Structure 1
């Protein structure tokens, strides 16, 4: 049975105490006192978490009593209750007694219970914070080792060679070589490529293979926020700088000092914000919103975009001087359709990751499933492949992810993709008209058979063929089901 939190109510009015006890007794272990002396005696023998004291009492004021409690039992959460709204009382209670909350009479039962629950939670959080602080003092070497271990794991995860999954003959090899060459030099880099190609992954690889690897890496999507919020996010603001700025905020540039900041979708920022970002890069200092003071920063900037920034500069939509500040070095990431040989490797790596996240285990892909994934163009790139792998894992009821689990739009292009699919097919087909028609027929036969899990009767019915006619075509085109076990 869970121990109920202990609270102390101090009031010289008997009826007021009885009313509060009736309200709180089901949830709390309530102790009551009519005088300051009785209250102090209870605090001596009980582990009180919250103390609620009436302000106007004959022997001593609530503020004076809570001030004494603050000196002797500072961990007790102190609250004061009063039917008077004297501002001097309130200010005195806050300044002298360090109260958590001022409760006005008459109070509502539900509101009183809620305030006491919050006060108990505050007490528990304070104790947790004390324990953690003690751990920090007692075990600095342990914490240092743990931090170093996590830092090493991050560096290995984003190592230029280990962090990018690819085949031995992948065109990503050249990209990784560029990362390896530029990472140690403290220059700004622009990563270009379609959405989902892994730009943030390579930005982290640049950071964790640089001289700043032991400092912070911070990422921000610049296309998701309007100018004022983006300026506040990156440069910080003072309280009252704009509507909703209820407290000071440290900007990401300042948080990333001595480290790396990754600005994604940099091509989407407005011309007005481009001017502000240019000044930061030129001067090496920021000015939070609502202030006239500047702060020096030392940050490496890695930017990314799915746009052609040189064309954006040519069209006047992106400042040329900002482009040259950002693009000391530029690296382009090819789309997945240009490195389809990487798909089996990526699919297996994504499957391992998905199994760990979802707590579901399979032995892998069938060869046929990998062949289907490798034949698709992946307009959404690696992110789309990741979603497809997760979907197949959810639907899988056996040991292997079979081809019948592949989405229909992957097995057969959707109408929106039909024109591109036909172009690719036409480019791939060779020989006479008869040869090309037969190659196309063979592909259609294989796609229908996969969707029907190689059930020849259903495939023949969909295609308007007899089983004998279908068998004849399969023999002519030498179509047969691949082995079940998959490999990269």
Structure 2
């Protein structure tokens, strides 16, 4: 049996120590100290994984004590518990004592337990890293062999054949073109709507290229402001700006010898486009806070959901940058243009979700796939993945049925499940009568179609239409809609 992790609680208030110890004692071995001297003695004689230390103590502050712990026992994960949250104090704590987490009073027991679990897990990972580092020094041939196997396994996971599609899919032509492009060390622009799998294709290009042994570094340009993006990409030197307490390598330098993937390149500002252009032209950059130039050897792949040609014509994207990025252009079609792919993608996503969450589901009920194929999927594969996961969460049997589909999907039209149970036809647009009469007729058709499809379940119908049960009942009475009456029973009048 593995011994529980050991946590030291240091606070000059005995009651505070006892409360924290009582919370942690069920999952951890807990040592308690009400003074710095007592804490030192415990550290000398025990294998401690993490420390919870109060900040305000007589003689020595928590930060000062943890700075001492950092120097003598650097592996111990250090956390401050305090009721004072001055930003300057927090920055000093992080810099001076290497604080892992700042826990403010009043804290919640669950917060304390979560911090303790994360801290002990970090301690274990640090020790494992040290062990692996030692193995790396002692047995380079063995490690190199394992690393080569890992690279081959990763490359296999991101091969073009791993992109799920049907044999007749438009994606087959895209993958063939990408495979030919991969072996040439030229920039590639990948176009496609959000959620179509642009990064997946970019990874496949990288692992099929001569740079597959190098790093694949991805950055979402549209999610980061210009000033932060420059630091993220090109790095900075200590003191370059407020909060830059140490030198930091940028992602461009991390990708040296490999591939840099600039996702959502169409979202960067005109000012930052100039900086990207210079880097692409010269193959060099200047980290923030220095005049020194750093050269790198990277291949740039970019992706965007925008039409960059239209952006160039509108003056929002530099033409010279566009041509720097487009050694080759790969366009991924949206999921609505690949209906044959939905069958294989849905089953693949279901199998993956079942494996990840420990569920066993044999597949989809009749009619479900028809709805999935007819839906437009504005969120593409990512939206399909979310829909499959939602159905799996709600499923109470080993088959995913129509009742589990989102109301948004069920609004695409009727599905005939069996000849014995036909559903209502799609709502029709009436071409006679006043505007109010046509609106009433259309509303009645929608109500009839929806309640018939929901098996005359008023709760489900109200939920799908965004109505209360009382509101739904009033509308059904207004239009005279009753079970088994069909279209002939609709009395569409004004009231």
TM-score (norm 2): 0.64
C-alpha spacing 1:4/1:391, structure 2 compared with 1 (3 Å): closer
Alignment of 1:340-419 (within 5 A): 340-413=339-412
Structure 1 distance, partners of 2:481, 2:74, is: 82
C-alpha spacing 1:123/1:185, structure 2 compared with 1 (3 Å): closer
SS at match of 2:367: helix
Structure 2 distance, partners of 1:393, 1:170, is: 26
Determine the structure 1 residue equivalent to 2:421.
Answer: none
Determine the structure 2 residue equivalent to 1:149.
Answer: 149
Shift of 1:225: 1.2
Deviations 1:121-171 (A, max 9, x none): 8998876554343333345444334333332222122211x1221111111
Answer yes or no: is the 8 Å Cα contact 1:404–1:453 preserved in 2.
no
Question: Where do 5+ consecutive residues of structure 2 fail to align?
Answer: 22-29, 51-57, 60-67, 77-95, 99-111, 414-425, 429-444, 462-475, 488-495
Determine the structure 1 residue equivalent to 2:64.
Answer: none
Q: 2:454 aligns with which of 446, 452, 455?
A: 452
SS at match of 2:232: helix
SS at match of 1:250: coil
Q: Is 1:168 matched up with 2:167? A: yes
Determine the structure 2 residue equivalent to 1:159.
Answer: 159
Determine the structure 2 residue equivalent to 1:135.
Answer: 135
Shift of 1:21: 11
Answer yes or no: is the 8 Å Cα contact 1:265–1:306 preserved in 2.
yes
C-alpha spacing 1:454/1:375, structure 2 compared with 1 (3 Å): farther
Determine the structure 1 residue equivalent to 2:246.
Answer: 247
Structure 2 distance, partners of 1:209, 1:130, is: 33
Answer yes or no: is the 8 Å Cα contact 1:4–1:29 preserved in 2.
no
Answer yes or no: is the 8 Å Cα contact 1:412–1:447 preserved in 2.
no
Alignment of 1:463-478 (within 5 A): 464=481, 467=484
Question: Where do 5+ consecutive residues of structure 1 fail to align?
Answer: 10-18, 56-65, 78-98, 102-113, 415-423, 427-442, 471-488
Structure 1 distance, partners of 2:13, 2:333, is: 69
SS at match of 2:162: coil
Alignment of 1:211-290 (within 5 A): 211-290=210-289
Structure 2 distance, partners of 1:282, 1:180, is: 25
C-alpha spacing 1:240/1:177, structure 2 compared with 1 (3 Å): same
Structure 2 distance, partners of 1:370, 1:446, is: 23
Stretch of structure 1 that moved more, 355-364 or 388-397: 355-364
C-alpha spacing 1:375/1:254, structure 2 compared with 1 (3 Å): same
Answer yes or no: is the 8 Å Cα contact 2:427–2:449 preserved in 1.
no
Determine the structure 2 residue equivalent to 1:322.
Answer: 321
Alignment of 1:60-209 (within 5 A): 130-160=130-160, 162-209=161-208
Answer yes or no: is the 8 Å Cα contact 2:193–2:305 preserved in 1.
yes
C-alpha spacing 1:449/1:372, structure 2 compared with 1 (3 Å): farther
SS at match of 1:318: coil
C-alpha spacing 1:367/1:176, structure 2 compared with 1 (3 Å): farther
Structure 2 distance, partners of 1:144, 1:371, is: 50
Structure 2 distance, partners of 1:330, 1:321, is: 15
Deviations 1:80-137 (A, max 9, x none): xxxxxxxxxxxxxxxxxxx979xxxxxxxxxxxx9xx9xx989988765543433333
Answer yes or no: is the 8 Å Cα contact 1:223–1:268 preserved in 2.
yes
TM-score (norm 1): 0.64
Structure 2 distance, partners of 1:469, 1:31, is: 79
Q: Is 1:309 matched up with 2:308? A: yes
Structure 2 distance, partners of 1:402, 1:20, is: 59
Structure 1 distance, partners of 2:352, 2:75, is: 47
Determine the structure 1 residue equivalent to 2:31.
Answer: 28
Shift of 1:207: 0.5
Structure 2 distance, partners of 1:150, 1:464, is: 64
Determine the structure 2 residue equivalent to 1:435.
Answer: none
Deviations 1:328-353 (A, max 9, x none): 10111111111111111111111112
Larger radius of gyration: 1
Shift of 1:187: 0.4
Shift of 1:47: 6.0
Aligned residues: 372
| Structural RMSD (CA) | 4.6
Determine the structure 1 residue equivalent to 2:290.
Answer: 291
Deviations 1:170-210 (A, max 9, x none): 11111111111101110000011111111111111110111
C-alpha spacing 1:398/1:142, structure 2 compared with 1 (3 Å): farther
C-alpha spacing 1:333/1:136, structure 2 compared with 1 (3 Å): same
Shift of 1:454: 10
Structure 2 distance, partners of 1:449, 1:303, is: 47
C-alpha spacing 1:243/1:400, structure 2 compared with 1 (3 Å): same
SS at match of 1:237: coil
